[in-house]
Amino acid sequence: MTLLETTPTETLSVAMRQGSMAEHTEAENAGFTSQLLEGKINELGYLHYLEALRTVYGALEKVGRTLLEDPLVGTLHDLRLERAAAIDADLAYWSQRAGVELGHTSAAATAYAERIEAAAANPLHYVAHHYTRYLGDLSGGLAIGRVLGRTYEVAPEAPGLAFYEFAEIEKPKVYKDGYRAALDALPLDAAQRETVVAEVKVAFGHNQALFEELGQSLAAYQR
Ligand code: HEM
């Protein structure tokens, strides 16, 4: 018997989650993230974080739209998920509230966006980037939005935290179940699945690098 025949089959969605568990814990514990959730990051810090995310989602959604007809990506990318317009609305709010012009650059965000842009030629990689951001946004992201609402005293649906609102997705839990089912239905062989899981780790690594970069300015971001 080959190894493949004796290994119990793990679905792709489970492999992606299991494969990034350690990285996920690291992201939750990053200095910038934990300070953000403890309410210790000021408007400038949040603005810079959002600007970095805008670079990332710009790439994610540009490539997602070019791959809408791709047999793998086409079953996952959904315009209702897109965040760039929500981030733009939030950026206008936070730039005004922080009293700072937009235009902060981030080497980590640029590197992350470049990796996503390269995935235009590699749909398996794109699937990994798609999962890492959007399933995260639909999971912990929603709780993070509520914490930030309390920290910054932004009422639900008031301008400022649109990034965390998926107006067109009524039931995130149901949506996530459907998303995982779509992942599990992708016609991939073992090597292709490994490629996807490995790229999820790369995607988490880019998020970590982003937090580390923000972490270097914690003194300027103290609230
Ligand atoms: C601020 C720190 C974070 C917190 C508190 C957090 C919290 C959570 C929680 C509670 C879940 C599970 C939700 C559920 O069971 O449905 C989750 C899932 C997830 N998070 Fe995070 N998260 C954080 C950061 C991140 C980051 C930086 C990423 C990557 C960009 C990320 C990506 C994901 C993904 C992909 C899932 C879905 C896992 C799966 O079910 O396959 N998270 N997060």
Q: With 60 as the cut, is the pLDDT of residue 7 above it?
A: no
pLDDT band at 156 (very low <50, low <70, confident <90, very high): confident
Q: Is the CB of 35 under 6 A from ligand 1?
A: no
Whole-Å CA distances, 173 to 136, 138, 192: 12, 8, 27
Confidence category of residue 8, pLDDT binned at 50, 70, 90: low
Question: Percent of the chain having pLDDT more than 90?
Answer: 94
Mean per-residue pLDDT for 202-208? Answer: 98
Q: Is 200 exposed, middle or buried (0-12, 13-18, 19+ CB in 10 A)?
A: buried
Judge contact between 46 and 94, C-beta under 8 A. yes
Assess whether pLDDT exceeds 90 at residue 6: no
Q: How confident is the model at residue 9 (pLDDT cuts 50, 70, 90)?
A: confident
**Ligand 1 centre from 27 Cα, in Å?**
9
pLDDT of 5: 47
User: Within its chain, how far is the Cα of 173 from the centroid?
Assistant: 17
Of 1-5, 48-52, 107-111, 194-198, the least confident: 1-5
Q: Tell me how far apart the alpha carbons of residues 72 and 196 are, in angstroms, rounded to a whole number.
A: 12
Please determine, for residue 1, whether its predicted confidence score (pLDDT) is greater than 50. Answer: no
- How do residues 79-135 score in pLDDT, each as one tens digit? 999 999 999 999 999 999 999 999 999 999 999 999 999 999 999 999 999 999 999
Is 24's C-beta closer than 6 angstroms to any atom of ligand 1? yes
| Helix pair angle (123-130, 107-118), 10° resolution | 130
CA of 139 to the centre of ligand 1 (A): 6
Q: Which protein residue has the closest C-alpha to ligand 1 atom 6?
A: 140
Give the confidence band of 170 by pLDDT, cuts at 50, 70, 90.
very high
Fold for the domain defined by 11-221: Heme Oxygenase; Chain A (1.20.910)
Q: How many CA atoms lie within 13 A of 117 on its CB side?
A: 10
Q: Whose CA is nearest to atom 20 of ligand 1?
A: 136
Top mutation candidate among 24, 112, 134, 180 for ligand 1, by most atoms within 8 Å of CB: 24
The residue nearest atom 26 of ligand 1, judged by CA position, is: 27
Mean pLDDT confidence for 67-81? 97
Residue 220 has pLDDT above 50, yes or no: yes
27 lines ligand 1 (CB under 6 A): yes
